[in-house]
Amino acid sequence: MNSTAQEGESVALPTNAVPALRIRNLRKTYKGGVEALKGIDLEVDQGEFFGLLGPNGAGKSTTIGIITSLVNKSEGSIEVFGIDTERDLESAKRLIGVVPQEINFNQFEQPLRIVAQQAGYYGIPWAEAQERAGQCLEWMGLWDKRKVLSRALSGGMKRRLMIARALVHGPRLLILDEPTAGVDIEIRRATWELLEQINRQGTTIILTTHYLEEAESLCKRLAIIDGGCIVQNSDTRSLLRQLAIETFVLDPQDALDAAPKLDGFPTAMREDGSIEVEIKQGASLNQLFDSLKQEGIVITSMRNKANRLEELFVRLVEGGQESKL
Ligand code: ADP
């Protein structure tokens, strides 16, 4: 792409199958010297549902900020569907829809106006902008609410309004920064369903999340970022397969003074009196229960300590245990 798209023009894409996003050697040092990104490389294919995970301060928002041109990079390159953001930022921006973490629309305006205005920023004529806005609101289940004051919408509806606004210009890549942060489980699941639908219809999705369950449920591929570096980048399944150990929590019938010593199963006592046991992949649970029986310990219930991705995360990310997941 050498020519820059004018307002209202659609962007001609390179015909060969280029990745939706290609990041090379991306570095960011903020004024004051914080090195937020230390040269990351990342590729997301067209049609993918991709997750960017990491503890607080890892560099996720900086990465998203640079892709969406809110933050200036110090070094490196970004291509969106083959379009270099440095050479043709306007065309690249046209292909991206962004859902920021914080609700940032004017709460005193009506949803229809908020979404249509966004289309206007992309040079879409007002009549078409209204029509598109209506379609997006309908898709997000907000048609009935198109003329209420946005302030009156529920938390879940406000999130959906943010998504409708991000979709109105027909982006091929949707980027969401912590899309379900702080929302209750019902809204979270409803949002997941919507995002899956959007992805099924061909839009590439990249999200950042603290919720490992979210990443595990939605994302086919994940990159884990820590301290400004990508520490893992793989498909979700093979990441999970790397886990050699799972930790279970057992509740003993009678209170124990100390964690029991079980052959081949490292244990630890928890504050609430339950016991943590590490079990190697493929190890026999019967053997564990035999050892417990030998010690005269009866177990009344057992559960997985965390979801598997969380275990992996804690192992990969230095200080992960302290991070607010
Ligand atoms: P995340 O989104 O993963 O929590 P960020 O990208 O927000 O991480 O932050 C990465 C690092 O950059 C952190 O050390 C953070 O304090 C620092 N940082 C982020 N924004 C700024 C800024 N505007 N000025 C200086 N430092 C910043």
Return the residue whose CA atom lies nearest to atom 13 of ligand 1.
57
Mean pLDDT of 66-80: 96
Residue 133 lies in a domain: yes
User: And the tokens for 251?
Assistant: 């509740």
- Show the tokens assigned to 88: 């043709």
Q: What is the pLDDT of the chain when averaged over all its residues?
A: 87
> Is 32 a pocket residue for ligand 1 (Cβ < 6 Å)?
yes
Q: Residue 115 in contact with residue 161, Cβ under 8 Å?
A: yes
Cα atoms found within 13 Å of the Cα of residue 15, Cβ hemisphere only: 0
129-172 pLDDT, tens digit each? 999 999 999 999 999 999 999 999 998 899 999 999 999 999 99
181 and 50 both lie in a single domain: yes
d(CA 273, CA 301): 13
Interatomic CA distance for residues 269 and 163, integer angstroms: 45
- Is 70 exceeded by the pLDDT of residue 21? yes
Higher pLDDT, 108 or 181: 108
Q: Give percent of the chain with pLDDT exceeding 70.
A: 88
Ligand 1 touching residue 3 (CB < 6 A): no
From CA 190, how far away is CA 161, in angstroms rounded?
A: 13
Tell me if 282 sits within 8 A of 259, measured CB to CB.
Answer: no
Last residue of a domain, one of 216, 240, 264: 240
Q: Is residue 16 part of a domain?
A: no
Residue 284 confidence (pLDDT)? 82
Residue numbers of the domain that contains 271: 244-324
Q: Are residues 72 and 96 in the same domain?
A: yes
Please indicate, yes or no, whether residues 47 and 163 belong to a single structural domain of this protein: yes
Question: Is the domain of 231 the same as that of 251?
Answer: no
Residue at a domain's end among 223, 240, 257: 240
Regarding whether 306 and 172 lie in a shared domain, the answer is no
Average pLDDT over residues 10-33: 84
DSSP 8-state symbol, 13: P
**Residues 172 and 116 sit within 8 Å (Cβ to Cβ):** no
Q: For the residues 109-128, what does the mean pLDDT come to?
A: 96
Q: Hey, CA dihedral for 31, 61, 161, 173, is it positive or negative?
A: positive
Q: What integer is the mean pLDDT of 23-48?
A: 97
238 Cα to the center of ligand 1, angstroms: 29
As a whole number of angstroms, the distance between CA 6 and CA 13 comes to: 15
The answer on 180 and 146 residing in a single domain is yes
120 lines ligand 1 (CB under 6 A): no
In this structure, the answer to whether residues 276 and 189 fall within a common structural domain is no
- Residue 70 near ligand 1, beta carbon < 6 Å: no
CATH of residue 319? 3.30.70
Cβ of 12 below 6 Å from ligand 1: no
Higher pLDDT, 185 or 165: 165
Number of domains the chain is built from = 2
Indicate if 209 and 135 belong to the same structural domain: yes
Residue 320: the pLDDT is: 45
Cα gap 20→286, rounded to integer Å: 48
Q: Is residue 323 predicted with pLDDT exceeding 50?
A: no
Task: State the distance from the centre of ligand 1 to the C-alpha of 240, rounded, in angstroms.
Answer: 28
Same domain? 176 vs 255: no
Given a contact cutoff of 8 angstroms between Cβ atoms, the answer to whether 79 and 18 are in contact is yes
What's the CA-to-centroid distance between 122 and ligand 1, angstroms?
29
208-254: per-residue pLDDT in tens?
Answer: 987 777 888 899 999 999 999 998 898 887 777 666 677 889 999 99
Lowest-confidence range among 121-135, 158-172, 271-285?
A: 271-285
Which protein residue's CA is at the shortest distance from atom 25 of ligand 1?
A: 30
Last residue of a domain, one of 240, 271, 299: 240
pLDDT of residue 248: 87
Q: Is 261 domain-assigned?
A: yes
Counting from 1 in the atom list of ligand 1, the atom nearest the Cα of 30 is 25
